[in-house]
Amino acid sequence: MGFASMSVIELVLVLSLSFFHGGEGVLSTLDGPFKPVTVPLDNSSRGKAVDLSDTDPVVQRVVEGFEPEQISLSLSATYDSVWISWITGEFHIGYNITSLDPKTVASVVQYGVYGLPITDEATGYSLVYNQLYPFEGLQNYTSGIIHHVRLTGLMPDTLYQYQCGDPSISAMSDINYFRTMPVSGPHSYPSRVAVVGDLGLTFNTTSTVDHMISNHPDLVLLVGDVSYANLYLTNGTGSDCYSCSFSQTPIHETYQPRWDYWGRYMQPLVSKVPIMVVEGNHEIEQQAENQTFVAYSSRFAFPSEESGSSSTFYYSFNAGGIHFIMLGAYISYNKPEDQYKWLERDLASVDREVTPWLVAAWHPPWYSTYMAHYREAECMRVEMEDILYKYGVDIVFNGHVHAYERSNRVYNYTLDPCGPIHIVVGDGGNREKMAIAHADEAGNCPEPSTTPDKYMGGFCAFNFTSGPAEGKFCWDQQPDYSAYRESSFGHGILEVQNETHALWTWHRNKDMYNLAGDEIYIVRQPDRCPVDSGGT
């Protein structure tokens, strides 16, 4: 479908938006489906794929005593509430550790509208978590005191100033600033949403974050794999392939201080711009008594309770006229289980007259043509794709595969004008290797039995039963649902313009920040693709 099939209003809008962004001739999804494009590998894009060292100034602890550090901001379910999080006190790692007492330091945020006196105050809760190992010779870890405070009664699209800490012991942070989300409505959107996955803490990461900051996001979406602390032994020895280097370890160790380094490095951004995180496989971090995901669930604040969820693994929130759904791939997603039931309730409650855009995110992709993690999340797709299609999800963001890929509109591996656009942005810059090989290239199709992930359920990735790949596990050429793929580090920016048009741009680290390696207008067609809409 091309410009000839567009209404006059749609045509004028697309052309005017293209002119405004300097992207004359930017195509829209109405021009698709597009013939598959694979950008040849540029070997210079690999960059310095090594971690920042623990002696780097940007990861050093610069506060004293119980002064706050690792300050971060996250959204609640609606514009009038946000979470402020921070850490006080020092972590301890060793063979005999003593945990700090969270009750010794208060959790207080003092805040107010920018330009006016700071007169409001909110209190929250605090906790300490441990990473413990039941084997001799492994060092255990206990965190500093983690604080989470929820601010309520905020005005939309308003600049606030705040300090956090404990005023009773003169341990308060400097003044920071944040802007609330606009009120939910069909004509009200954050200017830019940055989307990134598989970030880590390497020199590639710093390039990604620098580029992201230069694009002035109002919100950051991190679709899993945060600090990569689990690429290290407890003595701090690291590798970009844990199983390759440490195959004889009795348990998959982690070096938890990497979380603290990551929090310190990210503070200048996430203390001012809210970050919304969903878990990835590198957050599993198994420890004693089979506990998992403890650091992830402890360090971030999630709008779980506000969005009706009982878990840190899945939740939802509004950002203007966008309803975001964050799903957990490493917790049960089957229809009889809590996550699926929550998802069904959440989707049924979305009023598309108020939040026209419906965006979903989780870590491992359903639609990726790379050999790495090929069809790994097939059981999740089989279980959940129908309900996302039924309610008209517009865009899906994933990570996990360390490359960039954008799909045509697709449903059940078939081109479908009402299916979502799937975008893989697992190219944030972590230490592991970049994904380069494609499953459709000769000799790269994996053995089906090797594809399931033990944390994601059973085996569902059977041979295709119809279409060009009928009777096969892989296509023999780039599938028609894959519109664009490229192995390069970077991040994406989503700019929703109105209830039907959004500009998506992907930015390579090797380019100037204002250049787009891939760009397209994603256009909703509610008249052509009517969906169930709650609240109407």
**Residue among 406, 363, 345 at smallest CA distance from 535:** 345
Angstrom distance (rounded) from CA 186 to CA 69: 37
pLDDT per position as a tens digit, 274-329: 999 999 999 999 999 999 999 999 999 999 999 999 999 999 999 999 999 999 99
SS3 198: coil
Q: Which helix (H) or strand (E) holds 16?
A: helix 8-20
Token pair for 85: 């999080």
Active site residues: 373
Indicate if the alpha-carbon torsion angle 2, 4, 7, 11 is positive or negative.
positive
Q: What percent of the chain has pLDDT over 90?
A: 88
Token pair for 107: 């959790």
Angstrom distance (rounded) from CA 514 to CA 510: 11
**Does 513 have pLDDT greater than 90?**
no
pLDDT per position as a tens digit, 184-203: 999 999 999 999 999 999 99
Predicted pLDDT of residue 455: 86
Q: Which helix (H) or strand (E) holds 72?
A: strand 69-75
Token pair for 365: 């992709």
Task: Give the least confident one: 47-56, 281-290, 414-423, 487-496.
Answer: 47-56
Q: Does residue 487 contact residue 371 with C-beta atoms inside 8 Å? A: no
**Does 435 have pLDDT greater than 70?**
yes
Token pair for 17: 């938006």
Token pair for 251: 């348990």
Mean pLDDT of the chain: 93
SS3 5: helix
Which residues in 324-348 are b (16+ Cβ under 10 Å) and which e?
A: bbbbbbbbebeeeebbbebbeebbe
Angstrom distance (rounded) from CA 222 to CA 199: 8
What predicted TM-score, i.e. pTM, was given to this entire model?
0.94
Rg (CA), the chain: 23
Cβ atoms within 10 Å, residue 387: 16
pLDDT per position as a tens digit, 136-165: 999 999 999 999 999 999 999 999 999 999
Q: Does residue 288 contact residue 88 with C-beta atoms inside 8 Å? A: no
Query: What's the average model confidence in pLDDT over 358-385?
Result: 97
**Does 45 have pLDDT greater than 90?**
no
- In the chain, DSSP finds a helix count (H) and a strand count (E) of 7, 28
The answer, yes or no, to whether the previous bond of 33 is cis (omega within 30 of 0) is yes
Angstrom distance (rounded) from CA 240 to CA 121: 44
Q: Which residues contact 423 (CB under 8 A, 6 or more apart)?
A: 195, 395, 396, 397, 398, 405, 406, 407, 492, 504
**Residue among 262, 296, 275 at smallest CA distance from 73:** 275
Residue-range domains of the chain with CATH? 187-224+313-535 (3.60.21.10)
